[in-house]
Amino acid sequence: HVEYFKYMVDLLRERGGENIQVFGGGGGVIIAPEIRELQDYGVARIYSPEDGQRMGLAGMIGEMVMRADLDLSAQAPADAAAVQGHTQAAWRALARLITALEAGKGSKALKNALAAAAKATHIPVVGITGTGGAGKSSLTDELIRRLRLDQGDALRVAVISIDPSRRKSGGALLGDRIRMNAIGPWQNGSRVFMRSLATRDFGSEISQALPDVVTACKAAGFDLIVVETSGIGQGDAAIVPLVDVPIYVMTPEFGAASQLEKIDMLDFAEFVAINKFDRKGASDALRDVAKQVQRNREAFKTPPAEMPVFGTMASRFNDDGVTALYQALLPRLAALGLKLGKSKLPQVATRHSTHQVAIVPGARVRYLADIADTVRAYKRHAIEQSRLARELQQLHASADMLLADDATRDGARSTVLRLAEAREARFDARAKRLLAMWPQMLKAYAGDEYVVKIRDKEIRTALTYTTLSGNKIRKVALPAFEDHGEILKWMMLDNVPGSFPYTAGTFAFKRENEDPTRMFAGEGDAFRTNKRFKLLSEGLPAKRLSTAFDSVTLYGNDPDLRPDIYGKVGNSGVNVATLDDMKVLYS
C-alpha cells in the first residue's frame, strides 16, 4: 500500500493533477509510521481505526468533502487556444474551463473566442435523453464502443453527462460514469473525454452552462460530442435546441398506449430506443411506439416497422438491437459532417434485440417460490402420513385389546377395524415401505459393521469409533422410537446419512482411507508453490490441491515493474503469467 499510494501521487504530479486529493484507509493494516510517511509524501489523509472511533463514518466523509472542496475556476485558461488539441494538457485545460463556465466565471472575451472557434467547425452533437433508469448511460457507452470498434478508434469523442441536483441538499451523484466501460484508453491512447455536470437547477434536465460547455468542446476540436441528460418527464424536451440529433431512451413500462400521446420527445426525437427489451411486453411496446411516431410525423405512407424506433438491450454484450440503432445513426452523423471511414461492423437485419435470453425464463420466474412450496407441501405430507401411521398403530392395538378382553365384542372390534381401513386407504405406498424398512434398518445399524453388497462384493464399514479413553461411540445413532408416527416422521424428514431427504448428509459414511487435509498453497512463483504442494501431499494417497492466486493473476494482468502491480506479484497467492507457469505449478 505504501508503494501504491506513492505511485498514485507521483502519477498525479506528472500529469498536472496536484490539486487532486488522495485519501485512504486500511483498518489496522496501514500502521502509524506508514501513515505519517504517506501523509508527508503528499497523501491528503490516511484514516486509522482510531480516527474511525473518534470521528465516525459521517465525520470522516465530512472532512474529506470539506478538504476536497476547492474552487479551480481561477486556474481556467484565459485563451481559447489552450483547449485546442488532444494532449493531456489541453484536456486538463478544457476540464478547468468547464468548471469556470459552470461557476459563471468565464470572461465574455473568452466566450466569444470559443464561439468563433466553434463556428468554424462542423461537429455533430448527439443528445441522449429519456426517463430516469431507462439505461441512458449504458446505451451511451455501448454506442461509443461500437463507434470506436467500427472506425478503428480513429475518432475523438466528448461525452457530457448531466445528473440532477437534489432540491434539499443541492448535491448531485454524478454517477453516470459508473456505467462507462468503453471510454478508457485503447491501443491508440485516450480518445474519449468525459465530463459530468450537475443541473444546479430543479426545473430542468440540463445545466444552464451546457450551451457554453458544448461550444468549448467544439472549440477543442472533437469529432463528435455526445450529451446525456438527467431523467426527464413526459413534457420535457430541453435538450432538443442544443443538439443536432436527439435520441429518446425509454423502457417498455410506459403504461397504457394513450400515455405515448403525452411524451413530448416522441415529437422531437430523430431516434427512439426502447431499452431493456428483454422485459415483458417489449414487442408490444415497440409496435405501439412505432405507431405513435408514425402518427406524430404524419408519415402514414411509411409502415410502422420502418419508423426509427429500436428495441435495445444495452446491458447485453454485442446486442444486435444496439448495433441496429448505431448503424441507423451513422448516415445521419455523416450528413452532419462527421468524417467516417469504412465500416467494420457487419450489417444487422433487425431493428430490435433478438435471441433474448432472460436470466430467469418467464416460465420459471417463480422458481424459488415453487421450490419453497414443494418443500412445505412435502413436510405437510410427512406430518399427515405420520399421523395416519400413529392412528393405524393405535387402532390395530385397540382391536387386538378388544379381542383379547372379550371375544364376543365383535361389533366394537369391527368398528375399530373399519376406521383402520379408512386410514389405510389414505396411507401411501412409500410410507408403508419406510415403516417396513425400520426393523431391518435397526438390525443393520445395531452391529459393529455395516455390510453392503455391490454385485458379488461385500463392502464393510465400521459402525463404531473407539475413543482414546476406550469408549465406543456409534457413528450413526438411530432414535429409540416405538411410535409408528414418530418413526415415519423421522424417516421422512431426517433419515440416516445417504438417504432421502439427506438431512444428515449425501453419503452414508465419511471416507476413512484418508485424513481430511486441505492442501492449500499459493505464494511467489509457480516453482515455489509447486514445492509447497509436494510438501503438503507427501505420503498421502490422494492429491487434493487447492490454489491461491495473487491479485495480478486474478485480474488478468501480466507481471510489471509498475509499483501498483510489482508489489502484488506473488503476494497472498501464486503468480501465473503463462501456460508454462501453469504446467510447472501442477507438475
pLDDT for position 172: 80
Helix (H) or strand (E) holding 161: strand 157-163
Q: pLDDT (tens digit, 9 = 90+) per residue, 412-464? A: 888 999 999 999 999 999 999 999 999 999 999 998 888 888 778 888 888 99
Q: Which of 59, 108, 103, 113 is nearest to 81 (CA)?
A: 113
Q: Does 501 sit behind a cis peptide bond, omega within 30 degrees of 0 on the bond before it?
A: yes
| Mean pLDDT of the 200-208 span | 83
**Do residues 309 and 418 share a domain?**
no
Q: Quick one: 305 and 389 in the same domain?
A: no
Residue finishing a domain among 493, 511, 542: 493
What's the CA gap between 486 and 389, in Å, rounded?
Answer: 9
pLDDT in tens, 279-328: 888 999 999 999 999 999 999 999 999 999 999 999 988 899 999 999 99
Range of the domain at 60: 2-70
Residue 504 within any structural domain of the chain = no
The total number of structural domains in the chain stands at 4
Question: Does residue 499 lie within any of the structural domains?
Answer: no
The predicted-structure confidence for 507-563, as pLDDT tens digits, reads as follows 888 877 667 677 788 889 999 999 998 988 888 877 888 899 999 999 988 999 888
Q: Is the pLDDT of residue 497 over 70?
A: yes
Per-residue pLDDT band for 170 (boundaries 50, 70, 90) equals confident
What value does the mean pLDDT of the chain take?
89
Range of weakest confidence among 236-240, 467-471, 505-509, 541-545: 541-545
Q: What are phi and psi of 451, to 5 degrees?
A: -110, 125
Does 174 map to a domain?
yes
- Nine cell digits for residue 162: 448531466
Residue 514: predicted pLDDT: 67
Average pLDDT over every residue of 201-216: 87
Which of 286, 319, 335 terminates a domain? The answer is 335
In single-letter form, the type of residue at position 113 comes to A
537 in the same domain as 489: no
* CATH number of the domain within which 283 lies: 3.40.50.300
The DSSP letter of residue 251 is -
pLDDT for 244 beyond 80: yes
197 shares its domain with 158: yes
Whether pTM exceeds 0.85: no
Q: Is 130 part of a structural domain of the chain?
A: yes
Residue 354 reports pLDDT greater than 90: no
Question: Can you tell me the distance from the alpha carbon of 235 to that of 225, in angstroms, rounded to the nearest whole number?
Answer: 25
In a domain, 176, yes or no: yes
Question: pLDDT tier at 356 (50, 70, 90 boundaries)?
Answer: low
Q: Is the pLDDT of residue 255 over 90?
A: no
Q: Which three cell numbers stand for residue 122?
A: 462542423
- Read off the C-alpha cell for 149: 470498434
Does 140 map to a domain? Answer: yes
Q: Which residues touch 207 (CB under 8 Å, ≥6 apart)?
A: 102, 162, 197, 198, 199, 200, 201, 213
Q: Same domain, yes or no, for 156 and 289?
A: yes
Residues 232 and 194 in one domain: yes
What pLDDT, on the 0 to 100 scale, is given for residue 43? Answer: 93
358 pLDDT above the threshold of 80: no
Indicate if the pLDDT at residue 407 is higher than 80.
no
Q: Are residues 191 and 316 in the same domain?
A: yes
The H or E element that residue 492 is part of is helix 484-493
Phi-psi region at 586: left, alpha or beta (left = phi > 0; alpha = psi -120 to 50): alpha
CATH number at residue 45: 3.40.50.280
Strand-pairing partners, residue 198, are 163
Which amino acid does the sequence have at 557?
N
Q: Are residues 567 and 443 in the same domain?
A: no
* Statement to judge: residues 326 and 215 lie in one domain: yes
Exposed / middle / buried, residue 481 (Cβ in 10 Å: 0-12, 13-18, 19+):
middle
Same domain, 488 and 524: no
Extract the C-alpha cell encoding 87.
Answer: 494532449
Domain boundary among 335, 357, 385: 335
pLDDT at 178 over 90: no
Q: Are residues 144 and 25 in the same domain?
A: no
**Long-range pairs, 35-39, Cβ under 8 A, ≥24:** 37/2, 38/2, 38/5, 38/6
**171-175, 212-216, 353-357: the lowest-pLDDT one:** 353-357
Residue 475 lies in a domain: yes
Tell me if 112 is assigned to some domain.
Answer: no
User: Which pLDDT score is estimated for 412?
Assistant: 87
DSSP-derived secondary structure for 92-127: HHHHHHHHHHHTT---HHHHHHHHHHHHT----EEE
Portion of the chain with pLDDT greater than 70, in percent: 98
Indicate whether 567 pLDDT > 90.
no
Residues 174 and 268 in one domain: yes
CA 24 to CA 30: how far, in whole Å?
A: 10
Mean pLDDT of 488-504: 93
Q: What is the pLDDT of residue 260?
A: 92
Whether 20 and 12 have beta carbons less than 8 Å apart is answered as yes
Is pLDDT above 90 for 147?
yes
Question: Which SS3 state, helix, strand or coil, does residue 459 take?
Answer: strand
> Quick one: pLDDT at residue 577?
93
> Quick one: pLDDT at residue 521?
84
Confidence class for position 124, pLDDT limits 50, 70, 90: very high
